[in-house]
Amino acid sequence: MSTTPHRLATRCAHAGAKRTGGGENGPLQPPIVQSAIFDLGSSRDSDAIFSGERKGYAYSRFGNPTVDVLARTLADLEGGADALVTSSGNAAVLCAVTCALQGRSGPLVTHRDIYGGSFELLRVLSSVYLLHVEFIDPSEEHRWLAAVGRAAAVLVETPSNPLMRLIDLAATVEIARASGAPVIVDNTVATPVNQRPFELGVDWIVHSTTKYLNGHADLIGGCLIRREPLRDQHRSIHKNLGGTVNAFEAWLVLRGLRTLALRMEAHNRNAAAIAQWLERRPEVSRVHYPGLSTHPQAQLFRRQMTHGGGLLSFELAGGEAAAARFLDRMQLIINAVSLGGPETLATLPAKSSHRGMTPEGRQQAGISDGLIRLSAGLEDSADLIRDLEQALTPEG
């Protein structure tokens, strides 16, 4: 057999499947080991498991066979050495930040337009535990890189949501390397299909598996993946923070992963078609989508991503009233938060994810009242464009 690693789509299609062969007659799909505890056997066996002399299971928060299959699969798809699975994307960010900061002093540097849930999490950590977090405006690249240069650890999200701004990962890694600061990339929006952060030298990748990796909008989950093998300290942090996942949900994510490459092709295609169509509409004043040739960072996009992804946002010339009217007129597209599922969703960030900000804060962040965020699903793009058209067209 050839030793060339299989391509990503092939690895997705076989996610978690186990060929036993040799007449063993085992199940191809991983069994769902829905048990909190494991029979430890004799005192000697139990000793060997607890001392780490032998790989074994004791308690599902410490480790579970189904969850381990998912962890190995996620590490493989991102090209990392090891992964840890968590109960949500927020739990993954908490765990990754804790692992990255462990033994280091100085600020956690991140940018102002990270996912709202991560922003709130870091605000909670900084007020309760006095964690020093610096939120930088990433549009001033020299300020961003200067902050990275004095960071204990760096948390980056690219593309950002909802404005789809990119951060230069290679430049960020180069600066962080000089001081040894670990770089964490939230790759939820891009997915391993569209962006390969480990190839650019980052240390950690986090995901909300709630989104594209599971892909069916039916569970909450997360993971963190390390380019180098995990240290015992990292496994200890994960197990003790406690945001671990049950076997059944891990199994559902494995099932979702099998179609990841195929689904991303459709998400990419639909979002690109919608972005191009919206750009030509007089009711639309601006479209934010990394795959457009008019994106202000089109050059960086070509260096860093292979496709534009399934998420985009656009601004209606008619402002807040036009955006509300658009949302009310949608028939196929659904007004719901989140992204990465089969159904196309649209929201008004100013009235949902960014509602907690002051109007001035929103304006500073570039979130206008007429901004609509759209997560392109898996429908036929002709149906989606017909729905967009009827929702945009003024009543005559």
Ligand X SMILES: *Cc1c(COP(=O)(O)O)cnc(C)c1O
- Binding positions for ligand X, rule: CB under 6 A: 88-90, 115, 117-118, 157, 161, 186, 188-189, 208, 210-211, 220, 222
Q: Please identify, using beta-carbon distances, which residue of 80 and 116 lies nearer to ligand X.
A: 116
Instruction: Check whether the bond before 162 is cis (ω within 30° of 0).
Output: yes
Q: Which of 76, 168, 186, 203 is an active site residue? A: 186
Q: Please identify, using beta-carbon distances, which residue of 168 and 249 lies nearer to ligand X.
A: 249
Q: Which of 68, 76, 113, 115 is an active site residue? A: 115
Q: CB 158 → ligand X: shortest distance, Å?
A: 10
Strand order across the beta sheet in which 133-136 lies: 82-86, 222-226, 204-208, 183-186, 153-157, 108-111, 133-136
What CA–CA distance (Å, rounded) separates 107 from 321?
41
Joined tokens for residue 7: 């391509």
Q: Please identify, using beta-carbon distances, which residue of 126 and 285 lies nearer to ligand X.
A: 126
Q: CB 18 → ligand X: shortest distance, Å?
A: 27
Q: Which of 11, 18, 57, 61 is an active site residue? A: 61
Q: Please identify, using beta-carbon distances, which residue of 68 and 157 lies nearer to ligand X.
A: 157
Alpha helices in the chain (DSSP H): 8-13, 43-51, 65-78, 89-101, 116-128, 141-149, 169-179, 191-194, 232-241, 247-257, 260-279, 298-304, 319-329, 359-365, 381-392
What CA–CA distance (Å, rounded) separates 122 from 108?
9
Q: Note if 61 is an active site residue.
A: yes
Closest-by-Cβ residue to ligand X is 89
Q: Which of 68, 82, 165, 211 is an active site residue? A: 211
What CA–CA distance (Å, rounded) separates 240 from 84?
13
Q: CB 43 → ligand X: shortest distance, Å?
A: 41
Of the candidates 157, 141, 31, the residue with the CA atom closest to the CA atom of residue 93: 157
Q: CB 183 → ligand X: shortest distance, Å?
A: 16
Q: Please identify, using beta-carbon distances, which residue of 64 and 88 lies nearer to ligand X.
A: 88
Q: Please identify, using beta-carbon distances, which residue of 224 and 392 lies nearer to ligand X.
A: 224
Q: CB 175 → ligand X: shortest distance, Å?
A: 23
What CA–CA distance (Å, rounded) separates 277 from 206?
32
Joined tokens for residue 77: 């798809």
Joined tokens for residue 275: 């972005």
Q: Note if 211 is an active site residue.
A: yes
Q: CB 198 → ligand X: shortest distance, Å?
A: 18
Q: Which residues contact 157 (CB under 8 A, 6 or more apart)?
A: 110, 111, 113, 114, 115, 118, 167, 185, 186, 188, 189
Active site amino acids: 61, 115, 186, 211
